Chains A and B, each alone.
Chain A
Amino acid sequence: MVFSRRTLRRLAADAGLLFAAAAFVLPLAWVVLSSLDAQADLQVKVPGELTLDNFDAVLEPEITFTPLLNSLILCGGATALTVACAALAAYPLSRFRSRFNRPFLLTILFATSLPITAIMVPVYALFVQVDLIDTMHGTIFFFAASQLPFAIWLMKNFMDGVPKSLEEAAWTDGASAFQSLLRIVLPLMGPGVAVVTVFSFVMMWGNFFVPFMLLVSPDQMPASVSINDFFGNRGTVVYGQLAAFSVIYSTPVILLYVLISRRLGGGFALGGAIKG
């Protein structure tokens, strides 16, 4: 059989991609297979028999539900705060011309790429002094502040896409700027708000360093930190349970990502938002 050049090239590309996919999938296969295997160790292998025992074992208040609830309170609270503040801030930046806008936006852009890791030591020292250490609200405030620059930046860009004429009509009808933001602009940029919300939430859900530094008491720890208890604190490591917990903890963000990328096409506007 003779293939055309084009077909050959496609086959070569397919082979290359499949090889990469195989390499990338190995660690993922480990976590899925081990979570279903009562005798899981560190190697990828098909379980002798499939079992949900690992899930049964970790679905305890102390191991799974409390940390996940803590994660939800932390990330949900901080995301709500981030989105609300970003939407409010984006409105004047997008709608009114002011000599204040450009320097503000440049500062915001600069702040989006600062390494947050680097300021965690001073944040810790500061939080000890003002008594915010080991408090959920303190951690929520810091999470929100660290995510705000990017959220404002994205939100402003999405808001620029909503035509101004609709609001002007509402203004003539006597609506205030706040009403037109809430009733007209935000509903029209629904997908944009969704991207900012999901992105902020996913970033915080996976963040380890911030709660690791700012929270102390074990009963307040989110899943990103409590997962480390599978090592050490509980004696020998039960890899199957660690894998089961990892699956439970990772599922929400994967679902959110799928949801948002279905809605907005691959790479969910991130490519567009940061393109050079």
Chain B
Amino acid sequence: MTAEVAPGPAGASPRSPGSGRRGRRLIRILPLSPALVLLLLFLAGPIGYCAYIAFTDLQLTGQASSSFVGLDNFRKAFGDDDFRNAVWLTLVFTVVSSIIGQNTLGLALASLMQRASKPVRTLTGGIVVTAWVLPEVVAGFLLYAFFRKEGTLNAILDWLHLPGQNWLFTLPILAVSFANVWRGTAFSMLVYSAALNEIPKEITEAAEVDGASGWRRMWHITLPMIRRSIGTNLMLNTLQTLSVFGLIWVMTRGGPGNRSQTLPLFMYEQAFQKSMIGYGTAVALLLLVVGSLFSLVYMRLLRTEV
């Protein structure tokens, strides 16, 4: 693929403009069409369809046609204890695993890496990134094994003479949150490493000479300088975490009961196990709207780049 490049004479002028300007403009946009068709049919289509069936009582089986039910699905959702449970668990999951866990741990690892010796940095980076690259389902199994009653965590606690417990039963939402931290921290770490590398050395050194302590430097210099990265990272982490399904599915199936059932799992259960596609889609639409809001904020943060 590389041999064909033959640089032409420098400064050659482009071919003179042809006749039909309109036709030429069409030809120019032509390469966009395959992507456009795919996006319209398989992305915009389902989103539009989502907005439509959320207002119907479509069911999975034994129903020839569905009818328009207006806001019934949404009214039902807000009166549904299971739905409110799912919203609450989604909030806990997002705040604990994404905003507190991945974000803070990612920043901590990235800033330790600035000072650590190279072998340690490479080793830790490699391990953390491997956890991130692993397929979602595999990560789910690994952490299932880790948190099970007979698993590694309890073995370690036992060795330290601390009481263990059946984590997936007593604290399922915390177990899946930690699983998500394990899996997702690498992303924040990479983003923050890139951001910290861009801070000029002179600035931190000057502060050091002035006698600013580590925490003060972090708070008054480093954090303000990487605030855009923090914003972007928080947005992307949150969006990613909102749509986690496989990890929780593999570890707990949303259980026991519904004690780790976040919105995506709730949506799936309503649509398929309870055959209420219309209701499930209404929940999906709410998730999509929340996601879109985050997405818009993310675009505001990036606005200078387009």
List residues of A whose CB falls within 8 A of some B CB.
9-10, 13-14, 16-18, 20-21, 24-28, 30-31, 34, 41-44, 81, 84-86, 88-89, 91-93, 96, 98, 100, 102, 104-106, 109-111, 113-126, 141-142, 144-146, 148-149, 152, 165-166, 168-174, 177-178, 181, 183-184, 186-188, 190, 202, 205-209, 212, 223-225, 227-228, 239, 242, 246, 249-250, 253-254, 257, 266-267, 270-272, 274-276
Closest partner residue, chain A, to B185 (CB atom):
A24
Closest partner residue, chain B, to A7 (CB atom):
B117
Task: Pick the contact of B116: A17, A28, A92, A224 (CB < 8 A).
Answer: A17
Known: A92-B31, A121-B281, A125-B58. A276 touches B232 (CB 8 A): yes
Chain A contacts of B229 at CB under 8 A? Answer: 275-276
Bound CA–CA A205/B121 (angstroms): 28
CB pair A169 B8 closer than 8 Å: yes
Task: Pick the contact of B194: A144, A223, A272 (CB < 8 A).
Answer: A272
Task: Pick the contact of A168: B14, B28, B41 (CB < 8 A).
Answer: B14
CB pair B112 A86 closer than 8 Å: no
Minimum distance in angstroms from B125 CB to a CB of chain A: 7
Known: A123-B46, A172-B13. A145 touches B41 (CB 8 A): yes
Chain B contacts of A42 at CB under 8 A? Answer: 145, 148, 150-152
Known: A31-B142, A85-B34, A206-B134. A118 touches B28 (CB 8 A): no
Tell me if B169 counts as interface (CB < 8 A to partner A): no
CB pair A113 B130 closer than 8 Å: no
- Binary A-proximity of B113-141 (CB < 8 A = 1, otherwise 0): 11111001101110111110111111101
Tell me if B43 counts as interface (CB < 8 A to partner A): yes
CB pair A89 B306 closer than 8 Å: no
Tell me if B32 counts as interface (CB < 8 A to partner A): yes
Closest partner residue, chain A, to B288 (CB atom):
A118
Bound CA–CA A171/B133 (angstroms): 42
Chain B contacts of A183 at CB under 8 A? Answer: 4-5
CB pair B193 A271 closer than 8 Å: yes
CB pair B142 A27 closer than 8 Å: yes
A to B contact number (C-beta, < 8 Å) = 323
Bound CA–CA A34/B125 (angstroms): 23
- Binary A-proximity of B28-54 (CB < 8 A = 1, otherwise 0): 110110111011011101110110010
Closest partner residue, chain A, to B135 (CB atom):
A206
Closest partner residue, chain B, to A170 (CB atom):
B8
Tell me if B74 counts as interface (CB < 8 A to partner A): no
Chain A contacts of B131 at CB under 8 A? Answer: 24, 27-28
Chain A contacts of B133 at CB under 8 A? Answer: 202, 250, 253-254, 257
Chain A contacts of B175 at CB under 8 A? Answer: none
Closest partner residue, chain B, to A71 (CB atom):
B135
Minimum distance in angstroms from B294 CB to a CB of chain A: 7
CB pair B190 A271 closer than 8 Å: yes
CB<8 Å pairs between A and B, sample of 30: A10-B117, A26-B156, A28-B130, A43-B150, A44-B152, A81-B38, A89-B31, A89-B35, A92-B28, A98-B29, A109-B306, A114-B292, A117-B264, A117-B287, A118-B264, A126-B46, A126-B49, A144-B42, A145-B42, A168-B8, A168-B14, A171-B14, A172-B8, A227-B138, A227-B141, A228-B137, A246-B141, A253-B133, A270-B190, A274-B191
Closest partner residue, chain B, to A226 (CB atom):
B137
CB pair B32 A89 closer than 8 Å: yes
CB pair B246 A208 closer than 8 Å: yes
